[in-house]
Amino acid sequence: MGTKVFSGNTDDTFAAYKEGGFLGFGSEWRSWYIDGAGGNDKLTGGEKNDTIIGGSGNDVLKGLGGADTLEGGADNDVLYGAGVNSYDYVADTLKGGTGHDVYYAETNDLVVEAANSGYDTLHLVGSFSYAQYSMAANVEELIIDGTGNLEIIANNLDNNIKVNTSWFYGTIDGGFGVDFMEGGQGFDQLRGGGDNDTLIGGGGGDGLFGDTGNDVITGVDFSGGTGVGTLDKLTGGAGADRFILGNASQAFYDDRISTTAGTNDYALITDFQSGVDKLVIHGPSFAYIVQQEHKLGASDLKDTLIFRDNGTRTPDLIAVLQDTTTLVQTDFVSY
C-alpha cells in the first residue's frame, strides 16, 4: 500500500529520498502519493512506483526509481522522469499541464502535453542504442543531452531542436513545421521535412537535407568553428534554398594554410540550382575563383568548384557543387 502525503498552499520541499539516504526505515520500498497542491514545491519520490502531483505553482518534481507518474499541474514546472544525475531506464509518465514546462526524460518515458498549453522543452537523456524515437506531441523544443545512436522523428509543430552533446550519432527528421535544427560536435544527419527550415550542422562531418520548402542550410557552427577539417554534405531539396558558406566575419571551410588548397574540408552541395538557390559568402563574389572539373567520380557532368582567393596564399576550396556547371554572379549573396 502506498504512503500518501498532502500539502497546503505553501511552498513545500518533500523528499522520500535525499542526500544521505531515504526518509525513515523502509521508505525506499514504499510507493508514494505526493500532492503539493498550491505553492512552488520541490517534491521527490523514492525507488518504487510513485505518483507526484505539483498542483498550482512553479514546481520541481523528481521521480527517481520506479515507474513514476509526475503531474505538474498549472504554471511552469520541471519534471525529472529520469532522476537528476542518473538514469533509471524505467518507463515514467510525465504530464506537465498548463504553463511553460521542462521535461527530463528517457526514450521509454511517456510525455503527455496538451495543445496550446505553453512553450515546452524536452531534454532527452540517457544512452541510445540504434532505436527510433518519436517526439511527444505539443512539445516545441527538443534538446538532446543523451549519447549514442538514435533516429528521432519530430512532431509537426514549429520545433527548435538542438544536439547538446558530442556523443550523439543519429538522424533527426523535423517533419512538418518551420523548424530550427542544430547539430552537435558529432556526425549528425538532419532532415528539415516540410516548410521552411533552418539547419546548422555544428562540428564534425554532417549530412543536411532541407527537403521541401525554402531552407537555410549551414554545415558549420557559427560560434564553435568554421568547418576546417570537416566535409559536410548539403542537400536543399525542393524550393529556393540558401547555402551558407560564410558570414560577416569569415569564409567557412578556409583553413588559411598558405601552401595547400584545402581539398579535404569543404561543403559538398548536391543539388544546387542556378537562378533558384543562393550561395551566401563572406565578402564580394570577385574574391572567389570558380572552375569546373570532374571532382566527384566519373559522371558525365562536371562539378563546379569554388575557391576562396587568398591573395598570395594558395586559393582554398570551400565548396563543390555536384553535377553543376552553370553558375552566375547573381547566385551569390555577399555578407
Q: Left if phi > 0, otherwise alpha if psi is -120 to 50, otherwise beta: which for 99?
A: left
- Pair (227, 327) in one structural domain: yes
Confidence (pLDDT) at 51 = 92
* Residue 135 in domain: no
Q: Hey, is 210 helix, strand or coil?
A: coil
pTM higher than 0.75, yes or no? yes
Q: Is residue 278 part of a domain?
A: yes
DSSP 270-282: S---TTTSEEEES
Measure the CA–CA gap between 75 and 58, rounded to whole angstroms. 6
Q: What is the DSSP letter of 251?
A: B
List, in sequence order, every beta strand (DSSP E) within 49-174.
51-53, 60-62, 69-71, 78-80, 93-95, 102-105, 110-112, 121-124, 127-134, 141-144, 147-153, 160-163, 171-173
Domain boundary residue among 125, 157, 185? Answer: 125
Residues 186 and 306 both lie in one domain: yes
Examine the domain organization and report whether 169 and 82 are in the same domain. Answer: no
Residue 222 has pLDDT above 90, yes or no: no
Question: Within a domain: residue 93?
Answer: yes
pLDDT, tens digit, 9 for 90 and up, residues 131-169: 999 999 999 999 999 999 999 999 999 999 999 998 998
Judgement on whether residues 184 and 285 belong to the same structural domain of the protein: yes
Is a pLDDT exceeding 90 seen at residue 291? yes
Name residue 298's amino acid.
A
Query: Which residues does 267 contact at the CB level (< 8 Å), separation at least 6?
Result: 219, 227, 232, 234, 243, 245, 252, 253, 318, 319, 320
Pair 28, 17: CB distance under 8 Å: yes
Question: What CATH code is carried by the domain that includes residue 312?
Answer: 2.150.10.10
C-alpha 213/C-alpha 109 separation (Å) is: 32
Residues 220 and 93 in one domain: no
Query: Contact 101/120 with Cβ under 8 angstroms?
Result: yes
- Residue 12, pLDDT score: 53
Residue 231 lies in a domain: yes
User: Would residue 160 count as lying in a domain?
Assistant: no
Looking up cell 521535461, which residue turns up?
103
Shared domain check, 193 and 105:
no
Residue 247 forms part of a structural domain: yes
Query: How does DSSP classify residue 315?
Result: P
When divided into structural domains, the chain yields a total of: 2
Whether 103 and 177 map to the same domain: the answer is no
Please determine, for residue 203, whether its predicted confidence score (pLDDT) is greater than 70.
yes
Instruction: Give 30 or 169, the one with higher predicted confidence.
Output: 169
- Is 223 in the same domain as 318? yes
Confidence of residue 16 (pLDDT cuts 50, 70, 90): low
Quick one: CA torsion of 53, 58, 64, 69, rounded to 10 degrees?
30
Q: What is the pLDDT of residue 90?
A: 83
* Residue 183 domain boundaries: 165-335
Cell of 201: 550542422
Looking at the fold, whether 312 and 179 belong to one and the same domain comes out as: yes
Q: Are residues 179 and 118 in the same domain?
A: no
| Residue 78 and residue 203 in one domain | no
Q: Is residue 221 part of a domain?
A: yes
Last residue of a domain, one of 98, 125, 152: 125
Q: How many residues does the chain have?
A: 335
| 73-110 exposure pattern, b = at least 16 Cβ within 10 A, e = fewer | bbbbbbbbbbbeeeebebebbbbbbbbbbbbbbbbebe
Distance (Å, whole) CA 96 – CA 230: 40
The answer as to whether 275 is a domain residue is yes
Neighbours of 317 (CB within 10 A): 23
pLDDT(68) > 80: yes
From 125, 154, 180, give the residue that closes a domain: 125
Mean pLDDT within 66-87: 84
Do 10 and 70 lie in one domain? The reply is: yes
